[in-house]
Amino acid sequence: MKPTGAIKRIAVLGGGFSKEREVSLVSAHAAERALKAKGFVVTFIDVQRNLGALVSALTVAKPDVVFNALHGRFGEDGCIQGLLDMMSIPYTSSGRLASAAAMDKPHAKRLFASAGIPVADERIVTVAEAEKGDVMDRPYVLKPVNEGSSVGVKIVRDGDNRPPLGDLGLAGDDLIMAEAFIPGREVTVAVMGGKPLAVTEISTGREFYDYDAKYADGGSSHQLPAQLDKALYERAMELSAEAHRVLGCRGISRADLRFDGGEFYMLEVNTQPGLTPTSLVPEQAAHVGMSFEDLTLWMVEHAQCDA
């Protein structure tokens, strides 16, 4: 695959100011190297909490496309997408509406349920309620309503003390989601242009597939393809493609599911999947015969905005 003639200059956005800043920098520099190897003129922009500086950097760079490698809040929740829409600059991955919908976990779950995609039971409670006592039958999961990469996720099991929530930086009246814990296996499916690529089963020696399990060397092991019978494998692929569709995603997304032995339950859809050495989307792309460089090129060639 070679770049199309109309696209010559690319600005890669990385860093940001969410709790996923360091992972974003790894993803961004990996994309930067790949796109330079493809012959593009690439400008890397380290996004800080300074909107004027970002607009100025983009104005100077004059990119034909922005490669959005930001993760977490303000980078994959519709905020940066809205800015790029206003500037009429095409960008990779989902637009502002799908990005916002996917990052808001309760809203995304309502959309999934409306499309017949199984989800775990949940309650939206305040931090003060969760710290005071159990908010649903154990085991259950506490998670922020708008973070990615399992940031701030806590599991409450039988016999456990309730985990402290103060490290989330939330006030007592802030809302979090309590969700029934689904025992079983964890799988993930990358969806590219609306088509699922493969199913990976994730195993980890940690309590669950948390932030460190996702990004630390040796934090998890990936079975690709997942050892599922054909009907179950196809079921996971179909549910993931439907979740991509119902959210209105474009480009590449990655769906995370739990399998309890009988059914798959959609946990969330990541509209800005990581591009680090341990990330799942590049691994699945390679599984279907696409190099990392060609993956980034495909993303660039399918960039658009909602100007």
Catalytic (active site) residue 215 = yes
**Is the distance from CB of 103 to CB of 249 less than 8 angstroms?**
no
Q: Which of 77, 81, 74, 106 is nearest to 95 (CA)?
A: 81
279 carries an active-site annotation: no
Told to judge if 256 belongs to the known catalytic residues of this protein, a careful annotator would answer yes
Q: Pick the catalytic residue: 27, 149, 150, 253?
A: 149
Active site residue 274: yes
Among residues 91, 209, 211, 215, which one is catalytic?
A: 215
Assess contact for 197 and 252: CB atoms under 8 A.
Answer: no
Q: Residues 14, 15, 16, 20: which is the catalytic one?
A: 20
Contact criterion met (CB below 8 Å) for 149 and 20: yes
Q: Which residue in 96, 250, 254, 258 is the catalytic one?
A: 254
Separation of alpha carbons 287 and 100, rounded Å = 30
Catalytic residue among 32, 179, 201, 268: 268
Rg (CA), the chain: 19
- Say which of 253, 270, 279, 283 is annotated catalytic: 270
* Residue closest to 172 by CA, chosen among 125, 232, 217: 125
Q: Is 149 a catalytic residue?
A: yes
Q: Which residues pair with 252 in a beta bridge?
A: 192
Cα–Cα distance for residue pair 51/282, rounded to 1 Å: 31
β pairing state of 264-270 and 252-259: antiparallel
Burial of 37 (0-12, 13-18, 19+ CB in 10 A): middle
Q: Is 211 a catalytic residue?
A: no
240 included as an active-site residue: no
Distance CA 40, CA 38 (A): 6
Assess whether 301 carries a catalytic annotation. no
- Residue-wise burial string across 236-265, b where 16 or more C-beta atoms lie within 10 A, e elsewhere: bbebbbbbbebbebbbbbbbbbbbeeeebb
Identify the active-site residue in 256, 265, 279, 283. Answer: 256
The residues annotated with a catalytic role in the active site are 20, 149, 215, 254, 256, 268, 270, 274
